[in-house]
């Protein structure tokens, strides 16, 4: 579904809160305006306001994000390099349709990043700012678990994991985490039901308590059953991919609540 000329993108009711980061070494993202536009396009795709296969018109994006064409072009070029959009000569730019096997691989990397950043976080003293960020991320998980939609739950748990990555002391964890653009496909995959099967409040409250005490084994004791269930789901999807099944919902006209 193309964006019509001058039309506004539909607004999402709740968006994930992800800290704005410009990690060390990310020289391509030094412009604050460029970083802002990258974030807005990225979030529009993650929230389903821009969908796989949808054509992106520079003029529409310029009007929507109040940015110059040069900034929009640079943002699309960078997102193309990260596999988010496709730039085709003489055909323009479209939101990339994610390959099912790539989705499986990305979840593998996501799992490793979370475990690694958690281990680094608790191996050093946790400062006041990191503690406050973690407690804020936990509050978002609790709120989403009590009264949010499935998308709110996915956004909140993603933000919690991202918060650990951004506060572990190694900026490259956060950089890789963000460049996975994992929210682009999580909401399209056969993944949402897992969030209904897990007691998110119990898992994240207890794990957070252990993290703040720098008790890695204790935190893992709460996270591991959940991660094992997600891993089993991921392995099942990998087998489905091997059998030729498309595990992603890539229909551009579909919207999830």
Do 64 and 115 have their domain in common? no
Task: For residue range 186-200, list pLDDT tens digits in order.
Answer: 655 545 555 566 889
Report if residue 73 sits inside a domain.
yes
Model pLDDT, residue 101: 72
Domain boundary among 79, 95, 111: 95
Answer yes or no: is pLDDT of 160 > 70. yes
Average pLDDT over residues 167-195: 73
Report if residue 203 sits inside a domain.
yes
Report if residue 163 sits inside a domain.
yes
Q: What is the mean pLDDT of the chain?
A: 79
Do 61 and 123 have their domain in common? no
The strand pairing partners of 92, in sequence order, are 88
Do 74 and 178 have their domain in common? no
Do 82 and 157 have their domain in common? no
Task: For residue range 103-119, list pLDDT tens digits in order.
Answer: 777 778 888 899 999 99
Answer yes or no: is pLDDT of 30 > 60. no
Answer yes or no: is pLDDT of 79 > 60. yes
Do 46 and 76 have their domain in common? yes
Report if residue 257 sits inside a domain.
no
Domain boundary among 95, 115, 147: 95
Please tell me whether the overall predicted TM-score, pTM, comes out greater than 0.85 for this model. Answer: no
Answer yes or no: is pLDDT of 257 > 50. no
Rounded to an integer, what distance in angstroms lies between the CA atom of residue 45 and that of residue 52? 8
Rounded to an integer, what distance in angstroms lies between the CA atom of residue 39 and that of residue 44? 8
Do 173 and 76 have their domain in common? no
Model pLDDT, residue 246: 63
CATH number at residue 78: 1.10.10.10
Q: Which domain holds residue 32?
A: 27-95
Report if residue 194 sits inside a domain.
yes
CATH number at residue 230: 1.20.120.530
Distances (CA, A) of 119 to 126, 143, 167, 219: 12, 26, 12, 10
Report if residue 2 sits inside a domain.
no
CB 95 within 8 A of CB 84: yes
Do 127 and 216 have their domain in common? yes
Do 88 and 104 have their domain in common? no
Instruction: Please count the structural domains in the chain.
Output: 2
Report if residue 3 sits inside a domain.
no
Report if residue 255 sits inside a domain.
no
Answer yes or no: is pLDDT of 255 > 50. no
CB neighbour class for 206 (10 Å; exposed up to 12, middle 13-18, buried from 19): middle
pLDDT band at 256; cut points 50, 70, 90? very low
Do 49 and 170 have their domain in common? no
Answer yes or no: is pLDDT of 27 > 90. no
Do 86 and 104 have their domain in common? no
Rounded to an integer, what distance in angstroms lies between the CA atom of residue 12 and that of residue 154? 14
Structure tokens that stand for 169 in this block? 């002391």
pLDDT band at 1; cut points 50, 70, 90? very low
Do 79 and 138 have their domain in common? no
pLDDT band at 15; cut points 50, 70, 90? very low
Of 118, 116, 82, 115, residue with least CA distance to 98: 82
Do 109 and 221 have their domain in common? yes
């Amino acid at each position: 579904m193309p964006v019509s000329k001058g039309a506004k993108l539909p607004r999402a009711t709740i968006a994930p809160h992800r800290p704005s980061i410009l990690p060390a070494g990310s020289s391509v993202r030094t412009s604050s305006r460029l970083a802002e536009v990258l974030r807005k396009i990225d979030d529009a795709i993650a929230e389903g306001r821009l969908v796989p296969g949808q054509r992106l018109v520079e003029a529409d994006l310029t009007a929507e994000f109040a940015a110059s064409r040069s900034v929009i072009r640079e943002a699309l070029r960078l997102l193309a390099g990260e596999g988010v959009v496709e730039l085709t000569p003489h055909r323009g730019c479209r939101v990339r349709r994610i390959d099912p096997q790539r989705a499986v691989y990305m979840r593998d990397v996501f799992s490793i990043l979370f475990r690694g950043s958690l281990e680094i976080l608790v191996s050093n003293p946790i400062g006041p700012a990191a503690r406050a960020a973690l407690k804020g991320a936990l509050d978002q998980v609790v709120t989403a678990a009590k009264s949010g939609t499935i998308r709110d739950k996915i956004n909140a748990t993603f933000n919690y994991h991202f918060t650990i990555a951004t506060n572990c002391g190694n900026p490259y964890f956060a950089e890789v985490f963000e460049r996975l653009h994992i929210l682009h496909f999580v909401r399209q995959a056969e993944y949402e039901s897992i969030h209904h099967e897990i007691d998110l409040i119990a898992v994240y409250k207890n794990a957070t308590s252990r993290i703040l005490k720098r008790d890695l084994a204790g935190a893992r004791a709460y996270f591991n059953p959940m991660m094992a269930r997600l891993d089993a789901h991921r392995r099942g999807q990998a087998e489905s991919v091997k059998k030729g099944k498309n595990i992603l919902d890539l229909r551009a006209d579909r919207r999830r609540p």
